[in-house]
Amino acid sequence: MLIMAGSSCRVLGVKIARELDTRPSCMESRRFPDGELYVRIGEDVSGQDVALIQSMCISPNDFLMEYLLAADTLRDLGARSILGIIPYFAYARQDQRFKPGEAISCRTVADLLRLVGTSEIYTVDAHLHRIRGLTEIFKIPTRELTAVPLLSTYIKENFRLERPIVIGPDEESEQWARVTAEILGCDHDVFEKRRLGPREVEITPRRTSVSGREIVMIDDIISTGGTVLRHSRC
């Protein structure tokens, strides 16, 4: 199998190739003056299985387009299969239509990944709040991995926490808060929202007093940090 990393995952590509006792394959990516992307596959991929590694955080539009161009080129050059390694799967927030006329972007991106020749998708802790799994939106095999046990173990081994409690910012985050709490050997809680008026919402832990506790807050997406900041002030 060839290991090929997009511009968002060059370092990860090198590490994965090293673990597999091979070298990362050559893929060139740059921009034209007007911002368009240029992608070139730098070696023969005919008949090869290719792991195409590209996360879609920070600049999701650019990294998604780069992945689509690379995957379509790999298919055109005769790759036998394309395994999409996408640590952060973008556009998962919009997995249904909340208001009339909205795009269901999660489904659109899933279709695009399939149409350019992706054979299978691997991702990490996808944003699944209203669907049970990626199989509900993908028409190709998917594998969702979780980093929660690794992150929780890192916290346990590197921080001396006294009376910790793991907090999730909403009910959907309880699945990760529970696992982290089990590894840290402490309890967990999630925040609940209670509407006090048209524009006023009270946010409080569901059942636990956090006074004097050391807080570990866990969520699947931290975009601007606003949610974490707001909950940390409660």
Alpha-carbon torsion, ordered 73, 74, 75, 77, to 10 deg: 80
Neighbours of 167 (CB within 10 A): 27
Which of 15, 139, 156, 193 is catalytic? The answer is: 193
Residue 130, C-beta contacts closer than 8 angstroms, at least 6 positions apart: 95, 96
Output phi, psi for 164, to 5 deg. Answer: -75, 160
CA 4 to chain CA mean position, Å: 19
Here the tokens at position 93 are: 């927030």
Residue 86 in contact with residue 100, Cβ under 8 Å? no
- β-bridge mates for residue 5, sequence order: 53
Concerning whether 15 is annotated as a catalytic residue, the answer is no
Q: What Å distances lie between residue 138 and 114, 121, 124, 141, CA to CA?
A: 8, 9, 15, 7
Q: Which residues are part of the catalytic machinery?
A: 193
